[in-house]
Chains A and B, each alone.
Chain A
Amino acid sequence: MRYFRCELHTHTTMSDGKMTPEELVARAAECGYAAIALTDHNTVAGVERAVKEGERLGVTVLRGIEWTTFWGHFTVIGGNSDVLWRDITPQNVSEKIARAQSLGDIVAIAHPRRMGYPLCSGCHCDYDIEKLTGADNYEIWSHYYPNEGVAARQQLEQWHSLLNRGIRMTAVYGYDWHNRDDVPSSYAYTYVGADSAKAEDIIRGLRKGATYVTVGVEVNCKAVCCGKEYQIGSVIPSGECEIEISCRPVDDYRSDKAKELTRAEIRTENGVRSVPIRFGEKIMTKATFARYCTVGIYGERKGEEQLLAVTSAFYSGGER
């Protein structure tokens, strides 16, 4: 298994994007993505064109849609769902998510804490979060400047709060890619752990929760328990393990790059602990948890210490 650079939230001229499906895929190829999901607002009209272009250019295109409802947005990946966005209401949203999942799709809560009405109506998640706990993924980072600002902090806090309660939601980034972005503002990647970049393997990796999000730092992170290695997203039976972490800069990251790392933050339901780490260094640190353990990588970027990468969780107890 290896980690593939993916973008799971994109748009084309079939909704309010500025690129045609072919242009989006060509741009994704230029930007080094192994896979993208096309998630136009409330339509899949561009999907087959994008898939075809992806086959030509060697970029996997995952079939998707963004349910763009009045009360919140969801990216739905897999291309199987028969749920009509107009039918989703605050009362039935959990059933609609479950319906899409039962047909094989993966549902992410998109940019939940972004400003909504009157600037971007529906962009802020107004649904009762208790109705969304069945979703697979949570966009902890979104759009430009993903690791900065109030919305990013609030999303991270809400995701941690869900994990603390034992709710297992995979962390993803959503570029919410609408424009060509020749000189992009600060942005991030979602890396997905999979056996290959084929659509079915990327979806399997998402379903397993094998992801991390990053602003320009490649993270190698696994748990080791009783001589056995566990990837991000795995359930570790005993909840006691060594976390192995090493990082390197993403060579072709086009926005501000981190100068150096400062620390790795090990977060469990018991609290937060920091361990020093530098680029190129491999560290091992113990973690004991009953519910979850995530790793945050901090470093110096734009003249301050920033959170540069976040892994999805390792879990303890039960099954995924």
Chain B
Amino acid sequence: MQTILEGQYILTRKDQSTHYKIPFNVPEDAKKMLVSVAYDPKYNYDEEYGLDLIEKSMLKQAGEPLMSKGEMRACLPLDNHLSFSIDSPCGVVGTAHRGNNVQNFTISAESADGGFYPTEIKKGEWTFTVSVTCIITDTITVSLKIEVEV
């Protein structure tokens, strides 16, 4: 395996509802791509902050209470949610949208998993996109490692 990208990326609250793009280059003759991505923290355990944010958001969105304090408490702890997409020089390779903060994907011309499509691992500039669906902590650190099998 050959590591072609390894890095950490810091997201802040300002990144809410944005797509953070990380370009990377794939060498010639790659047959398979392995992507390991993790982010931290997943949860915000501040109960007072969580209840206050739920209540304010609920009233802003619905204009009236949607749930009781007890039901709001049952939603805690609040969690961060990121989605991951990959684009090759030929177009969309897919999107992984799920709650886990540690995810691994394998992509090749024959098969792929986790929401991605079987794709030839062509030489050129690819893009890994982090879509910030929900950030409820001051920062999120994203650790990304991309390897290829030649």
Contacts and interface: CB of A to CB of B under 8 A. Distances in A.
Contacts of A84: 92
B98 A15 contact: yes
Interface of B: 17, 19, 50, 53-54, 57-58, 61-62, 64-67, 75, 78, 81, 83, 85, 92, 94-99, 112, 114-117, 129, 131, 133-134, 136
B115 A86 contact: no
Given A15-B115, A118-B136, A126-B61, 17 more contacts: A15-B95, A15-B96, A16-B97, A16-B99, A42-B85, A43-B96, A43-B115, A45-B114, A68-B133, A86-B19, A116-B57, A118-B134, A119-B57, A119-B78, A124-B61, A149-B66, A150-B66
A118 B94 contact: no
Interface string A74-112: 000000000011100000000000000000000000000
A115 interface: yes
B97 A117 contact: no
A177 interface: no
B133 A122 contact: yes
A160 B67 CA distance: 24
B114 A14 contact: yes
Contacts, number: 83
30 contacts: A14-B115, A15-B95, A15-B115, A16-B97, A40-B97, A40-B115, A41-B83, A41-B95, A42-B97, A42-B115, A43-B94, A43-B97, A43-B116, A45-B94, A45-B116, A45-B117, A85-B95, A86-B131, A113-B61, A115-B67, A118-B78, A118-B134, A119-B54, A119-B57, A119-B75, A119-B78, A122-B133, A150-B64, A151-B62, A154-B62
At the interface, is chain B mostly helix, strand, loop or mixed? mixed
Contacts of B97: 15-16, 40-43, 68
Contacts of A86: 19, 85, 129, 131
Contact of A115 (B58, B83, B99): B58
Interface of A: 14-16, 40-43, 45, 68, 70-71, 84-86, 113, 115-119, 121-122, 124, 126, 149-151, 154
A45 B115 contact: yes
Contacts of B94: 43, 45
A16 B133 CA distance: 14
Interface centre among B61, B66, B134 (most CB of A within 10 A): B61
A70 B57 contact: no
A115 B95 contact: no
